[in-house]
Amino acid sequence: MSFASLGLNAQLVQAINECGYTEPTPIQTQAIPLVLKGGDLLAGAQTGTGKTAGFGLPMLQRLSETKAQPLANGRAPVRALVLTPTRELAAQVEENLRAYAKHSDLRTLAMFGGVSINPQMKALGRKVDIVVATPGRLLDHVSQRSIDLSRIEMLVLDEADRMLDMGFIRDIRRIIAKMPAKRQNLLFSATFSNEIKQLAEDLLNEPEHIEVATRNATADTIAQRFYGVDKNRKRALLSYLIGHNNWQQVLVFTRTKHGANRLAMQLDKDGLPAMAIHGDKSQGARTRALSQFKEGKLRVLVATDIAARGIDISELPHVVNYELPHVAEDYVHRIGRTGRAGIKGEALSLVCFEEKPLLKAIEKLIKQSAELEILPGYEPLPDSQQPPIEKPGANNRGRGNGGRGNGGGRGQNPRNANNKAPRSNRPNQPQRHGRHDD
């Protein structure tokens, strides 16, 4: 099947060919014709399946087929909005849409925090058809009246489950209230929690429903390996694996910002050029680190889960879980950075004794057994000599540095105020915050 056979026009097909796309992925094959029809869509798709083109290509075609009337002030209206949970994902999606639109007169704009708002306001003074934004920064523009959402024709919630996990539901509802009731809505999510189902029920009007892969399944293109190692030997083992195997591009995940900084410094001292990327880094530092990593100038990028769905690197060969995530679903999103678009990749996890309950949760989620490999010279102590495993959350009060908190929230979600337990029964889940990555 070709992209032209899905009903896309010659301009888009030319742009796709120039991007190096040869044939549509399953999500593109199913989503593009449905979006072209103009109805709402609820789509389940794992990371790395090509969903940006799945909604972006038909969006561009639909917008190009009609002309919008100017606003009362004479400016061209913003006609489509894509909401994403993180800055990196917003930048990535906008970059892709800009490439797809290169042979049209449609203009795109990425809008996120961590950088000056002034260039974004200046850009909005010109013609912008599609805005790709994080919720917090978009609301900043709304409050300053630099953007008008009253003419939005298409709304996309990309990585909707991640946005809800990060506490963006109130911001999303505030944004939706600024838009016209009549519009096309597209919701893409890797998982379908009760919150996602409720949001879909509130937002979508008689939607088509597609799901291209089993939820929480790992891609067949990813070779998964698990190494048993004592906690205090992890860094040495990681350095050995990278150096001995001559890996030149490795994405490493830690649970905390402090841990990411420390590990990057240690690897650098080991002669492995490394940088950390997380929510406390300035946007300039995050952009530089990601750019150097993509260009192959940086050998190791150490990231927290804020980057798990915002990094799209062509043919990334290796992902390492230096620490297993507290939430099993995040394992799927982390390793989904490799093995993308049908290209093979490798995902390694370094598992210490106290992480074995987390490993069991991952095995249950992905419905696969994880056999621990032991590398000579890095053998862990016998279980009988290991210290007892602490109960989840025992020493985690006030840390504010764990997996899902990596965005620099501005205010605590009232749901978790007064030290009440979080809604979820997930182990060790950090409290949610309101506007993490704006």
| Residue ranges of domains in the chain, CATH in brackets | 4-211 (3.40.50.300), 222-385 (3.40.50.300)
* pLDDT tens sequence across 418-438: 333 333 334 444 333 344 444
For residue 328, what are the CA distances in angstroms to 292, 332, 357, 361, 388? 30, 8, 10, 6, 22
C-beta neighbour count of 357 within 10 angstroms: 11
Give the angle subtended at the CA of 64 by the CAs of 122 and 157, to the nearest 5°: 70
Model pLDDT, residue 391: 61
pTM score above 0.75: no
* pLDDT tens sequence across 55-104: 999 999 999 999 888 888 878 899 999 999 988 889 989 999 999 999 99
- Identify the band that residue 284 occupies on the pLDDT scale cut at 50, 70 and 90: confident
* pLDDT tens sequence across 2-29: 898 999 999 999 999 998 888 898 899 9
* pLDDT tens sequence across 187-215: 998 777 788 888 999 999 999 999 876 66
Instruction: State both tokens at 24.
Output: 């549509």
Strand, coil or helix: 349 = strand
Instruction: State both tokens at 195.
Output: 């919150």
pLDDT at 399 over 80: no
Phi/psi of residue 111, each to 5°?
-140, 110
